[in-house]
Amino acid sequence: MSLMQQSLVRGAEVAALEDEFSAAVDGRHAVAVDSTTSALRLALVSLGIGAGEEVILPSFAPVETAAAVRQAGAVPVFADIDPQTFCLDPEAVAAVTSPLTAAILPVHLFGHPAAVDQIVDVAARHGLAIVEDATQAQAATLAGRRVGTYGALSVFAVEEGAVVTTEHPELAGAVKRLRDTVHMRARMTDAKAASGRGSLAKLPGAVARQRANCRYLDSALTGVLVPYVEPGAHHVYHRYTVRIPGNGRPDRDAFAMALAGRGVRADVSIRTPLHRMPEYRSSSYLPRTEKAAGETLSLPVHPGLTEKELERLATACNTLGGLL
């Protein structure tokens, strides 16, 4: 790496992003890296988790979670989800814990907090570490406590990168050493850090506008099952993910196509659960995960939507819901 390249890595902008992110997560140490996968991998490796050990995670999750476990040298073990929140079910976690289990990796999916308050109890009973994937849930809380403050380490997304946080200085030091020596490709550039600082500054306003859009849809939609919010949870709606009534995947996919025909673009955020992907295929029986993968659809709720666009979205969903 040239001197000029070195000057662009771990520079003033990276340090500023780490300081500002630390302030945003109640003073926990923050280490900026290049991607979500790198952040999760470094978090696991910093805990000494590696070959032959198991990490429990949801199959209904982004592929980066399983990829990070595999890259750390560990084995991903999939547990089923709560059918309402789409996040890890603590009882399902307990059921798949084995003598080889080293950690639990709950994902705060779509912006809804996982039941980390209960998962902490499971981890304590079995002597396991917790690494929280909060990449979709910056600013979400559970019973007034910010997600990302329950685990030994947590990972948040920033624009074009990610941040690992921890309250333990020795773990923060371990992540930094891994980033700067063994896994140098995981380092964040100053340019990416500057972009991340900009998105972090805009986050409160963006979350407030997006939540307002979601509140409107909660009250207006009748043709789909709107997102559930656990009592005491502060949902930040990274995705506004609904269930489509009907006969599972065929109706959900038909619903999405019909919405597109009316000018509304909706996405299937997780079409294939991790345990059914060839590289992570397992014999796990996860009926609630399978059902969610066949019925869920994420509707547009980004902060830039106008009132007219929200009304058109609600009208289209309600009309199609009646047809299906």
Dihedral over Cα of 171, 176, 181, 187: its sign? positive
pLDDT higher than 90, residue 245: no
pLDDT in tens, 17-46: 999 999 999 899 999 999 999 999 999 999
What is residue 299's DSSP assignment? Answer: E
Predicted pLDDT at 267: 95
Could you tell me where the DSSP H helices lie in 25-146? 36-46, 63-71, 90-96, 116-126
pLDDT higher than 80, residue 275: yes
Q: Could you tell me the pLDDT band of residue 278, with boundaries at 50, 70 and 90?
A: very high
CB 213 within 8 A of CB 194: no
Predicted pLDDT at 323: 54
Q: How far apart are CA 40 and CA 274, in angstroms?
A: 16
Question: Considering all CA atoms of the chain, what is the largest pairwise distance in Å, rounded to the nearest integer?
Answer: 63
Could you tell me where the DSSP H helices lie in 178-221? 190-220
DSSP 300-312: P--TT--HHHHHH
**Tokens 């990972």, located at residue:** 155
Domains along the chain?
3-199 (3.40.640.10), 203-323 (3.90.1150.10)
Interval 160-165 mean pLDDT: 95
Interval 159-175 mean pLDDT: 96
CB 214 within 8 A of CB 314: no
Q: Could you tell me the pLDDT band of residue 183, with boundaries at 50, 70 and 90?
A: confident
CB 98 within 8 A of CB 70: no
Q: Tell which residue, 30, 35, 18, has the closest CA to residue 161.
A: 35
For residue 303, count other CB atoms closer than 10 A to its CB. 14
Q: How far apart are CA 185 and CA 5, in angstroms?
A: 12
pLDDT higher than 70, residue 134: yes
Look up the pTM and report it: 0.93
Q: How far apart are CA 244 and CA 225, in angstroms?
A: 6
